[in-house]
Amino acid sequence: MLALLPGVPMPANTGGSLRALTMLRALDAAFDLTSLSWAREKEDIQALDRTLRGRAWAVPRTGPVDTLFAEAMGFVLGCPAGYCRYGWFPARLRELLEEREFDAIHFDHAHTALCWPLVRRLQPEAKLVLDAHNVEAEIVERVADSAPRWQRKAMRWQAGRIRELERELAQQMDLIFACSEKDAQTFRGLGATAVRVVPNAIPPLSPPMVAQRRDVVFVGSLDWRPNIDAALLLAKEIWPRCRGLLPGSRLAIVGRNPPMQIQALAAHDIVVAGSVPLVQPWLERAFATAIPLRAGSRTRIKILEAWAAGVPVVASRIAAEGLPYTGGKDLLLAEEPSEFARALVRLWRDRQLADSLVREARRTVEPFTPAQIARAVARHYREVLDIGDSARPYNDAYAPAMAATP
C-alpha cells in the first residue's frame, strides 16, 4: 500500500495531523505500507519512519518560484488556489509507482489526490482511496459568508473550483473515507458509490475534571482561517461579556502559528499560548472550552479532545456538526456572543451541570478510540481489496487491526 500525504504528520499537533497519523498507524499494522509526504519545515520524517513498520519517505515542498508557476498554470486550468502545487510531482513518486506494484493508493486530503491520473496510468489495477478530512468546498463557502465583501467573489470562485475537484474525485475513487455521515452524504451526492464513515480518534481518556480548573480554553490551529475567526470572536465579543463574572479566570488561546492579529489579543487575562508540545496541560486547567466556529467541516477533534479530558464544552452548531451529541446533555449549544457568555457563566457557577456534561460526554466519546478506528479502517480496506476476514494479511505478524470487528 502507498499513502500520499500533504505533510509529515509528526509532530501530530493539529486535527489533520492527528487523523493522518491514526490512519497511517492503522494501515501500517494491517498492510505492507510505504508512505510519501510533502514535507514542511520542522516536520519530523525520522520520527515517522521510526513509528511505522513500513518505510516513510519525504520530499521537500516546491520552492516559491516553482509554486508560483504551478499556481499560475493551475489558475489557467481551473485548479483551486493552494492545490495546484500537488499536480507537479517529485521524481520520487514516479519512481515508487514504476518500481513496485501497489494494491491500493491512500490519498490523505483531496490535495494529494490531484495525482490520480498519473497513478491510474502507471498502476491501473490499484484501488484508489481518499481520506477526506473535510468537505473543503463547504468550508470556503462558509468563510465567504462572513468575509469582507471585496473577498467574497474570489472565495466563491475558489469554492466552486474545489467543488468540481471533489465531484471529480468522488467519481474516480474506489473508496472514500468521510469523517461524519453528513460528509458522507455530500460525497454520495457528488457521485461517490463507496463511502465509509471513519470518525476522528481521540487521545486516551483523562481523569474527570478537578476543582482547580479555572480557565476557558480554545484549542485549534491558528493558521487556519475558521479558527482565526473563532478566536477573534471569542476574545473580542464573548470574553468581554463574561470576564467580570469569572473572578480569577483566564482565556487561553492555544494553537500553532498564531498570526499577529491573534498575538495582539494577549492581555492580563488572555493568554495566547501559540504552539505547544501538548494541549493536555491546558485542558487540565480549563473549567470549559468555548468553540464559536462559524465555518469549518466535520467532525471536530476540538470537541473530542475536550470530552476526553473531562472539559465541559460550549459550542456553535457548526462546531459540533457531525458529532453524535445531544444539546444540553453532552454539551451546551450557543450561537450569539451573549449566549456563549451566559453558558460560560452558568458552567462556572453550576458544578452539578458541569459534572453532568462531563459524564455524558465520556459515554458519547468511548467509541472514538484509536484501536476501534484502526479496526474499522482495516475492515473497509479488506472490503475494497476483496480480502476476506480469514485471509492472511500482508504483514507476517497478524496485526490487531486486521481482526474482525462486530
CATH fit for domain 2-200+369-402, picks 3.90.1580.10, 3.10.20.30, 3.30.2020.30, 3.40.50.2000: 3.40.50.2000
Shared fold status for 2-200+369-402 and 215-367: yes
Average pLDDT estimate for 16-31: 95
Higher pLDDT pick, 30 / 366:
30
How confident is the model at residue 397, as a pLDDT? 32
- pLDDT tens-digit series, residues 109-141: 999 999 999 999 999 999 999 999 999 999 899
Domain boundaries along the sequence of the chain: 2-200+369-402, 215-367
| Cα three-residue angle 54-114-23, rounded to 5 degrees | 35
Distance CA 320, CA 329 (A): 13
How confident is the model at residue 365, as a pLDDT? 87
- By mean pLDDT, which of 170-174, 219-223, 264-268 is the weakest? 219-223
Contact 243, 216 (CB under 8 A): no
- pLDDT tens-digit series, residues 311-344: 999 999 999 988 889 999 999 999 999 999 999 9
Contact 242, 344 (CB under 8 A): yes
Checking 180-189 for CB contacts under 8 A at 24+ apart, the result is 180/298, 180/299, 180/321, 180/322, 180/323, 181/322, 182/298, 182/321, 182/322, 183/132, 183/134, 183/135, 183/297, 183/298, 183/322, 186/135, 186/138, 187/132, 187/135
C-alpha of 90 from chain center: 25
pTM of the model: 0.81
- pLDDT tens-digit series, residues 82-116: 777 665 566 889 999 999 999 999 999 999 999 99
Q: What is the CATH number of domain 215-367?
A: 3.40.50.2000
Element holding 12 (H helix, E strand): none
* Set of cell numbers at residue 264: 495582539
Checking 401-405 for CB contacts under 8 A at 24+ apart, the result is 401/26, 401/29, 401/30, 401/374, 401/375, 401/377, 402/29, 402/30, 402/378, 403/375, 404/379, 405/372, 405/375, 405/376, 405/379
